Chain A
Amino acid sequence: MSDTKSPVIPDSDKPGNDLFKQITQGPGLVSVLGVIVALVIGGLLIAVTDQKVAETAGYLFARPADFFAEVWRAATESYVALFNGAVYNSTQGFKPFLETLTVSTPLICAGLGVAVAFRAGLFNIGAQGQIIIGSVLAGYVGFAWHLPVVLHLLLVIVFGLIGGAIWGGIVGLLKAKTGAHEVILTIMFNYVALYLIDYLMNTQAFRRPGETNPISPILDTTATFPAVPGSRLHLGFVMAVLLVILVSWMFKRSTIGFEFRAVGHNPEAAKTAGINVARSTIIAMALAGALAGAAGVAQVAGTEKVLTNGIAGSLGFDAITVALLGRSTPWGTFFAGLLFGAFQAGAVNMQITTGTPIDIVSVVQSLIVLFIAAPPLVKAIFGMNRKKKRSPKLETTQAGAK
Chain B
Amino acid sequence: MTSSTLQPAITVLPSKKTPIILTAIAVIVFFCFGLMGNSQSAHFALNSAGDAFKLPELVFPGKASNIVIGLLLIAAAVYSWLQRKKSKTLATWIIALAAILFVLAFLIWVVAGADITTISLASLLAGAVVLAVPLVFGSLSGVLCERAGVVNIAIEGQLLGGAFTAALVSSLTKNAFAGLIAAGIAGALVSLILALFSIKYLVNQIIVGVVLNVLVSGITGFLFTTVMQEDPELYNSPAHLPVIEIPLLSAIPVIGPILFKQSVIGYLMYLAVFIVWFGLFKTKWGLRVRAVGEHPKAADTLGIKVNRTRFWNVTLGGIVAGIGGSFFTLVAIDSFTKEISGGRGFIALAAVIFGRWNPIGAFLAALLFGFADNLQVILTIIGTPVPSQFMAMMPYLVTIFAVAGLVGRSRGPAAAGEPYVKE
Contact = CB atoms under 8 A, between A and B. Distances in A.
Contacts of B212: 366
Contact of A184 (B3, B389, B403, B419): B403
A378 B4 CA distance: 34
Contact of B418 (A2, A366, A373, A392): A2
A366 B346 contact: no
Interface in B360-412: 387, 389-390, 392-393, 396-397, 399-400, 403-406
Interface string A311-341: 0000001001100100000000000000000
Contacts of A268: 4
A356 B221 CA distance: 11
Interface string A162-200: 000000000000110011110111011101100110110
Contacts of B346: 187-188, 191
Interface residues of B, number: 56
B151 to A, nearest CB: 8
Indicate the member of B2, B4, B419 with the most A CB atoms within 10 Å. Answer: B2
Contact of B417 (A3, A320, A362, A401): A401
A3 B222 contact: no
Contact of B217 (A357, A362, A401): A362
Contacts of B2: 1-3, 267, 402
B349 A184 contact: yes
Contact of A191 (B3, B201, B353, B396): B396
Contacts of A392: 201-202, 421
Nearest to A314: B214
Interface of chain A: mostly helix, strand, loop or mixed: helix
Contacts of B417: 1, 401
Contacts of B421: 391-393
Contacts of A370: 193, 197, 203, 208, 211, 215
A7 to B, nearest CB: 14
A45 B219 contact: yes
A71 to B, nearest CB: 15
A125 interface: yes
B90 interface: no
A377 interface: yes
Contacts of A174: 400, 404
A185 B403 contact: yes
B50 interface: no
B116 interface: no
Given A188-B400, A359-B221, A181 B201 contact: no
A49 B211 contact: no
A401 B404 contact: no
Contacts of A196: 389, 393
B7 interface: yes
A182 to B, nearest CB: 9
A285 to B, nearest CB: 14
A365 B217 CA distance: 12
B72 interface: no
B350 A178 contact: no
B372 to A, nearest CB: 12
B204 A400 contact: yes
A199 B389 contact: yes
A207 B203 CA distance: 44
B214 A317 contact: yes
A89 interface: no
Given A1-B417, A49-B227, A361-B218, A396 B203 contact: yes
Contacts of A398: 202-204
A1 B1 contact: yes
Interface in B1-24: 1-7
Nearest to B206: A401
Interface in A258-277: 267-268
B343 interface: yes
Contact of A369 (B207, B217, B399, B404): B207
19 contacts: A1-B204, A2-B2, A3-B3, A174-B404, A178-B404, A185-B400, A188-B403, A191-B343, A192-B393, A192-B396, A196-B389, A199-B389, A199-B390, A357-B221, A359-B221, A360-B218, A363-B215, A370-B215, A373-B208
Given A191-B346, A377-B201, A393-B421, 13 more contacts: A3-B3, A178-B403, A179-B5, A180-B5, A188-B400, A195-B393, A317-B210, A317-B214, A320-B211, A356-B226, A362-B221, A373-B197, A398-B203
Interface of B: 1-7, 151, 153, 193, 197, 201-204, 206-208, 210-215, 217-219, 221-227, 343, 346, 349-350, 353, 387, 389-390, 392-393, 396-397, 399-400, 403-406, 417-419, 421
Q: Name the 9 nearest CB pairs between A and B, nearest first.
A: A362-B218, A359-B221, A363-B218, A374-B201, A199-B389, A357-B225, A366-B215, A49-B226, A359-B222
